[in-house]
Structure 1
Amino acid sequence: MEFTLQPVPASFDTAQCKAVVHAGISEPAVGHVDAVGSHYKSYLRRREHNLTELDDYDTHILPAQLERARLDADSAAAEKFIVDPADPQLLYLDPIRWKEQDHYRVLGLGSLRHRATPAQIKKAHHQRALEFHPDKRAALGNAHDDNFFKCVQKAYEVLSDPIKRRQYDSVDPAISDELPKAKLDDVQSFFDTYGSVFEREGRFSKRQPVPSLGDFDAPREQVEAFYRFWTGFDSWRSYEYLDKEKEATENREEKRRKDNKRITTLVEQAMAADPRIEKYKEEERKEKELKRIARETAAKKAEMEKQKAEEEKRRIALAKEEEERKQAAEEKRMHKKAVRELYQAVSYLVNNTQQTTSMTRTSRESEVDMLLDSLSHEATVKLRDALRECKNDHSKIQALTATAITSIIEKNPAVAISFSSFRDRQLKQAGQVSASKQREWTAEELELLIKATNKFPGGTLNRWETIGKWLSQHGGFPRRSGDELLHKTNELRKGSRTGGGMLVKELQNKKANHDDERMANEASIRYDGPVLQKAAEKKETKPERPWAPQEQTQLERALQAYPPSYKAPDRWDKIAEAVVGRTKKECKLRVKYLAEQVRAKKAAAAGA
Structure 2
Amino acid sequence: MKAYDVLSDNKRRAGYDSVDDVDDSIPSERDATASPQRFFEKFGKCFQLNARWCVSDRVPDLGDDDTDMDTVHKFYDFWYTFKSWRDFSYGCEHDTDTAETREEKRWMERQNSKEINKKKKEESSRIRRLVDLAHKHDPRLKRERQAVKAKKDAVKEERKRKAAEVIRLKEEQEEKERLEAESKAADEKAARAIAKKKKDAARQVLRRARQNLRAVGRALNIMATERGLLGIEGICAEGNAETIGAVATQLSSLPDTSDRCETAYALLDAARADPTKPICSEIVANLSTKEAKLEDMTDSSSVSLEADAETDADSKKDCTIESEPETIVQRPTVKSEKTVAKAPEKPWSKEELSLLSKGVTKFPGGTRDRWNRLADYIGSRDADEILRKVNDNRPSKIKPGSLKQSVKAQHTPVSNDRLKDKRKTNPDVEQKTRIKPVTKPSASAPSQPPNVLQFTPKQQLLFETALKKHAKGDPSRWKKVGNAVGRTPDECQERFNELIEFYAAKRASQ
TM interval, short-chain normalised: 0.3 to 0.5
TM-score normalized by the length of structure 2 = 0.37
Select the structure with the greater relative contact order (CA < 8 A; seq sep ≥ 6). 2
